[in-house]
Chain A
Amino acid sequence: DGGITQSPKYLFRKEGQNVTLSCEQNLNHDAMYWYRQDPGQGLRLIYYSQIVNDFQKGDIAEGYSVSREKKESFPLTVTSAQKNPTAFYLCASSWGRTDTQYFGPGTRLTVL
């Protein structure tokens, strides 16, 4: 089965802790993305990567970090510097940066 997986589906963390969200794809896509979605809001781009070992900041990168050591994987770390981390986080991938994006099921992060 080809697709994108994200884990965990729900995540709870205490304020002040860093947390890493997983995103894996087996579609052989070059580009991967992280979006944040707040209730009733659209998709805001956090980071994106077009090739392995390279990534760029999106519109709201502050308080987040990523790595792209493998083509299949693009983990997102939500650091303690992110002031309002509670949100729905979506990972996506595509062949190229203007192509159709395929989304994972998302991770709902709640900071307690």
Chain B
Amino acid sequence: GQQVMQIPQYQHVQEGEDFTTYCNSSTTLSNIQWYKQRPGGHPVFLIQLVKSGEVKKQKRLTFQFGEAKKNSSLHITATQTTDVGTYFCAGPPYSGAGSYQLTFGKGTKLSVIP
């Protein structure tokens, strides 16, 4: 079945440093979604990318969708303590029937040292 892998699993950064997490799928995706889960909280949707090579920005966050629609990245510029949490990517396969659905990666846990 489809697998979605994220690296790194954990990342510790000094406040002000940049951070990047990578998401790789074993199959071509129809879209890629990113979620953030704060410590003790629940995942919250951040953004969805649909087009090959698409880049979207949300303030200090930059999201990219690969040309082959099998990988994606989230880059945070100048991290702040409010960025702490676990970032998940998720995506459905490009085509398929039956039980195909959104598959989540295991997430990257970001810690920011003040």
Contacts and interface: CB of A to CB of B under 8 A. Distances in A.
B101 A97 contact: yes
Interface in A74-108: 90, 92, 94, 97-106
Interface string B42-71: 111100100000000000000000000000
A43 B6 CA distance: 13
A2 interface: no
Contacts of A99: 102
B42 A48 contact: no
Interface of B (DSSP majority class): loop
Residue among A98, A99, A106 with the most chain B CB within 10 A?
A: A98
Given A40-B109, A43-B88, A101 B102 contact: yes
Given A100-B33, A103-B43, A43 B92 contact: no
B42 A90 contact: yes
A43 B31 contact: no
Interface of A (DSSP majority class): loop
Contacts of A53: none
A101 B34 CA distance: 11
A92 B44 CA distance: 11
Interface in A22-56: 40-43, 48, 56
Nearest to B1: A59
Contacts of B109: 40
Contact of A90 (B31, B33, B43, B106): B43
A102 B45 contact: yes
A30 B60 CA distance: 34
